[in-house]
Amino acid sequence: MITKTGSSGNNRRLRPLVLLDRDGTINVEVDYLSDPAQLQLLPGVSQGLKLLRQAGIPLAIVTNQSGVGRGFFTEETLAKIHDRLEKMLADQNIKVEGIFSCPHHPREKCACRKPLPGMALKAAAALNGDLSRSFVVGDKPCDIELGKNIGARTILVRSGYGRNYNFSSLAKPDMVAENMEEAALWILGQKT
């Protein structure tokens, strides 16, 4: 499911994107966040995303939202959550060019659920993205595996579940950051 995207302009040259996980990466992790009032940005998120936007790097959110498929909330509620998240970011002068979500239950074995590449491919098509020059930022192994599956560079942020995992034996990120600001500084130091 594509929640919303900005204009794509198919005549533009392909560009690197930063694909961001939502829960535990941008906002505080809440099991099956089902109410827009539960949204709370994590420390360092505003500063990090501002740095990326100031550098002209497009941002897109790619998020597994199986709470829809499990019947915990509806796609309409998910849209309201994303509307509030976009407003919270806009209040910090941060624009997200697209939000892509997978509403399916894991049993459905869809092609969009991370770590499969479906959402990243949709984001690249909608935003003229070059996935091989892009970055995936997240707090779980499925985020790092998504990045590896699409040939992107990967950053584990330790702001959510990332602080609980030992990634030495799992998917190995290209970088481990304490928060989004540190991740953004690393991204800005890479050649795209």
Residue of 21, 31, 35, 91 marked active site: 21
- What's the rounded Cα separation, in Å, for the pair 121 and 71? 26
Sequence-ordered strand ranges (E) for the chain? 2-5, 18-20, 59-64, 98-102, 135-138, 153-157, 175-177
23 labelled catalytic = yes
- What's the rounded Cα separation, in Å, for the pair 117 and 151? 10
Residue of 23, 35, 130, 143 marked active site: 23
Q: Is 9 exposed, middle or buried (0-12, 13-18, 19+ CB in 10 A)?
A: exposed
Residue 19 C-alpha from the chain's centroid: 5
Q: Which two tokens stand for residue 117?
A: 């590449």
- What's the rounded Cα separation, in Å, for the pair 114 and 120? 9
Determine how β-strand 18-20 pairs with β-strand 135-138.
parallel
21 labelled catalytic = yes
Distances (CA, A) of 165 to 31, 51, 169: 17, 27, 9
- Return the active site residues: 21, 23
